Chains A and B, each alone.
Chain A
Amino acid sequence: MADRYSFSLTTFSPSGKLVQIEYALNAVNQGVTALGIKATNGVVLATEKKSSNALTNPSSLEKIAYVTPDIGMVYSGMGPDFRVLVDRARKVSHTNYKRIYNEYPPTRILVQDVAKVMQEATQSGGVRPYGVSLLVAGWDEKPAGTGKGGPALYQVDPSGSYFPWKATAIGKSATSAKTFLEKRYSEGLELEDAIHIALLTLKETIEGEMSGETIEIGIVGPPADNLLGYEGVEHARGPRFRKLSPQEVDDYLTNL
Chain B
Amino acid sequence: MEVLLGITGKDFTLVAASNAAMRGVTILKAEDDKTRTLNSHTMMAYSGEAGDTVQFAEYIQANVQLYGMRNNANWQLSPPAVASFIRQELARSLRSRNAYHVNLLIGGFDTTTNKPHLYWLDHLASQASIPYAAHGYAQYYCLSILDKHHHPGISLEKGLELMRMCRDELVKRLPIDFKGLSVKVITAKGVQKIELETAT
Instruction: Verify whether A and B have any Cβ pair under 8 Å.
Output: no
